[in-house]
Structure 1
Amino acid sequence: MTGIHVAFLETNRTGSGYEVMRVAKERGWQVTLVTKDFDFYLQPGQQQIPMDGFDEVVNCDTDDPQAVAAVLSQRADRPDALLSASEFHMLATARTGRLLGLRGQDPDAVLACRDKSLGRRLCASAGVPIPRFVLAATPEEAAAADVGFPCVVKPLDDSGSYGVRLCANPQEVADHAKALLQWVVNEVGQPKLPGVLVEEYMHGREISVEVIVADSQVRVIAMTDKVLLAPPIFYEIGHTVPASLDPEVERACREAAVQALDALGYDFGAAHVELMLTPDGPRLVEVNCRLAGDQITRLVKLATGYDMHAALLDIYLGTDPGAPRQPNHGAAIVFVPSPGGRILGIDGVDAARSMPNVVDVATFVEPGAVLPEEAAGYDRLGYVVAVAEDGPAAASAAQDAVGAIQVDVETVPASDLR
């Protein structure tokens, strides 16, 4: 296909959205980024947006589907597809696509993913295995939730594990719920849904199922093992493709993911379905209505050869995204965490690059940058990617390389932290 124009309504900052833009450019298509604040993509402590990944930036209120539709519909080069990889803009993208008459996601299904309480209710009604949960409007309601201790308290509609915390008793629940309820806008300035979820703490190992859905056909592309920081916060610091699963467990995970998508009415788009492998089988953590971030899609391509970025473009343009492929390698990413404070220096990057099986090492910050201690999915200094004969070998190689990187920092007043 030639003469194609693809517009992106914002994107994420952890790789996958940038990669979709790159694929579109490699195909010779016109790429437009619609954003309300381009400087958002230039902040330190994150993967930087590739300036050659798009042809044009259009400034617009990306939270207003009517405004975006008006801007794009008036162009002589009206887009052939509108998509996003930004968690915060999936709903606006779906609604704008409907206004423009473009192929895209069902806004109701996207809302069921973004509003975690709505998604929980729909999944519970459909018999999807989920944790016990309570929607609470006040700290007192949260503290009274009967889900057992410890329990997980989380916001209804954020991303990157922001605000997700393990609480040991009613007072901790009330305190954290109060803090969340006072947090009324997210990092991109959008109003947050009122309320918090209090959930049963699921013991087990977390994985994710990477999915492409088109014309109601679910294609399970890959499964990903995750490494999280120890509670009380839940923050992913590494991923491996493929997940090391017994065939029966893998089959149960596929079935749970498909069941959850069906319950939400999710019949189009990419999905990143997070599951906890508990002693009673896989249980749903949440369904994300987008490609996985954290370069998981890159790991999928390294491990299997399947390009989920290309597949996403294909389905938005009505073409076949192709069949999943079996992994022939293992691929892993491990992030360099932020220790918090002013960065004085980062050493050992060249040593990390020279280590066996390492295919990429990157850092996001320069000396002088002031960053918070890691608390969620954007507070990082860089990453290592490794490829090996299988997932565990790749993960071990990436972890060893991260261990070679040394970060020198100095403490700064809390008021100076970003």
Structure 2
Amino acid sequence: MSTPEQHRQGARQGPASGRRVLVIGAGRGQTGLIRAVRRLGATAVVATRVEPHLPGIAEADEVLAADILAVDDVVDAARQAGVDAVATSCLDTGLEALGAVADTLGLRGLSRQAARLCSDKLAMKKRLAQAGVPTAAYVAVSSCEQVGPALERTGLPAVVKATDLQGSSGVFMVDTPQEAAQAWSTAASLSRSGRVIIERLLTGREFGAQAFVHDDQVLHVTVHGDDLAPGEVPVPVGHHVPMEADPGLLEQADRVVRQAVSALGLRNCAVNVDLMECDGVVHLIELTGRAGANGLPELMSTVYGLDYYEMVAREALDLDVLETWRGRSPWDGAALAIMLIDADARGTVTGIHRPDRLPGWVTDLQVFTNVGDVLEGFTSSNDCLGQVVVRGSTLAECRERAAYIDAQVVLATDNAGTGARTGETVSTPGTRS
């Protein structure tokens, strides 16, 4: 097998040969995109802070050392690098930089204005409310003295959110005014802008959706069920398709997502959406103009029989997107992406065992952890040890298959008594693909 360096030295072939794509970020969520860019024959130029542990650095053709939050610096670096396209996946942090590069250099992709709406929960909520998209009642709170009056409008329990952080960072569920005041102080200190909102806590069924927008055309809205790890703020650790639900609920979710995409002006990008069904009404929690994280691109690849990262790359390059989408081969059963986690895994990793051969129904298996990494249990998605994506005839079969593969990924640590993921004997699930 050739090395990344040998690939870089070889002649590039493919429909994007000679073109240069700026990929924002070099984390595990961008590695699939970097590989897709290179498979298309383009040069993958990665903008990232230069930290050796980021896996995308080893995959890139070129690395631009940059703080992806420093928008003007990224734009200048992109201009000097002479890039022809810009893209990202699974990451909100660099969205405004992506939009600024696209706007400034006249490239295809999410606009800076739309990226700002995605990255600012307050601006997003305002725009969604103006467009009539169902969303939780909220109040912007700029001081601790405003917490009490805000709670009178939202009621308790409530959710306190920093407006400009990714995922569950800076998000706190509160039951009392005292908890809300403390949460506001913490969220304000974590927020880059210092802005915080308090919103009504919706109770019901939390789920999500992936979508893809080419020009003004929404190519698909795919609703998926979410598997959540318990905690004060539940952490997504898995996703599955299809989600069992009344057809009316799925139709409502499709309509709400399309309304929200239009309201935020999302174009030429993948879209990740968080939803909540509350008393029969689908509410939009938030959405952003990039593919979802935690196995969602691999899940979409499995569901549609194509490389979803390549769809993102083709969109940035304006390269036969509709033709590629029409050539998909959808899977007619169920598919499941599950993150490998272990709340008891602590210590330095001394060894990793993973299966040498995989059944055909495993569409993706990754181990994020390396020998020498220090494990400290599980508190967020950053602590995931890997992921597995499987397909099957039913969701129950997918769960059985995923558990079978999960049990074969074993990590040894130097912490006696708390070795991570000790293996167990399991029977092989059915061999239907």
Paired-residue identity, % = 24
Give 2:24's aligned residue. 10
8 Å CA contact 1:154, 1:196 repeated in 2: yes
Give yes or no for contact 2:25–2:68 (8 Å, CA) kept in 1: no
| TM-score of the two chains, using structure 2 as the length reference | 0.81
Shift of 1:138: 2.6
For structure 2, list consecutive stretches of 5 or more residues without a partner in the other structure.
1-14, 417-433
- Contact 2:366 2:388 survives alignment (8 Å): yes
Structure 1 stretches lacking a partner, 5+ long: 185-191, 412-418
Q: Is residue 112 of structure 1 aligned with residue 117 of structure 2? A: yes
**Mapping for residues 41-56 of structure 1, pairs under 5 Å:** 42=53, 48-49=55-56, 51=58, 53-56=59-62
- Which letter does structure 2 place at the counterpart of 1:10? I
Contact 1:69/1:96 (<8 A) preserved: yes
The structure whose RCO (Cα within 8 Å, separation 6+) is larger is 1
Verify: 1:24 aligned to 2:43, yes or no.
Answer: no
Q: CA RMSD in A?
A: 2.9
Cα 1:218–1:366 change in 2 (3 A) is: closer
Separation in 2, partners of 1:234, 1:58: 35
Q: Could you tell me which residue of structure 1 aligns to residue 424 of structure 2?
A: none
Partner of 1:157: 164
SS in 2 for 1:365: coil
Contact 1:343 1:366 in 2 (8 A): no
Which residue of 2 is the match for residue 167 of structure 1?
174
**Residues 54/221 of structure 1: CA separation in 2 closer, same or farther (3 Å cut):** farther
The answer on whether the counterparts of 2:354 and 2:408 sit within 8 Å (CA) in structure 1 is: no
Summarize the Cα distance change of 1:310–1:382 in structure 2 as closer, same or farther, 3 Å threshold.
closer
Structure 1's 283 and 4: CA in aligned 2 closer, same or farther, altered over 3 A?
Answer: farther
CA deviation map 1:103-151 (0-9, x unaligned): 2212111111110011001111111010111221233423442312222
1:14 is displaced (CA, Å) by: 4.2
Instruction: Give the drift of 1:223.
Output: 2.1
Q: Which residue of 2 aligns with 1:414?
A: none
* Aligned partner of residue 256 in structure 1, secondary structure: helix
2:243 maps to amino acid: A
TM-aligned CA deviation for residue 202 of structure 1: 1.5
Q: Is the Cα–Cα contact under 8 Å of residues 109 and 316 in structure 2 kept in the other structure?
A: yes
1:376 aligns with 2:389: no
Residues 19, 242 of structure 1: alpha-carbon distance in 2 compared, 3 angstrom cutoff: farther
Question: When the two structures are superposed, what TM-score results if normalisation uses the length of structure 1?
Answer: 0.84
Count residues in correspondence. 394
Matches within 5 A, 1:6-405: 6-11=20-25, 13-15=27-29, 17-39=30-52, 42=53, 48-49=55-56, 51=58, 53-75=59-81, 78-85=82-89, 86-145=91-150, 146-184=153-191, 192-322=192-322, 323=325, 326-339=330-343, 342-343=346-347, 350=354, 358=362, 360-366=364-370, 369-399=373-403, 401-402=405-406
Letter in 1 for 2:112: P
The letter for the 2-side match of 1:384 is: V
Instruction: State the secondary structure of the residue aligned to 2:254.
Output: helix
**1:229, 1:235 within 8 Å by CA — same for their partners in 2?**
yes
When residues 230 and 287 of structure 1 are mapped into structure 2, their CA distance, relative to the original with a 3 A threshold, is same
- Paired letter, 2:24: E
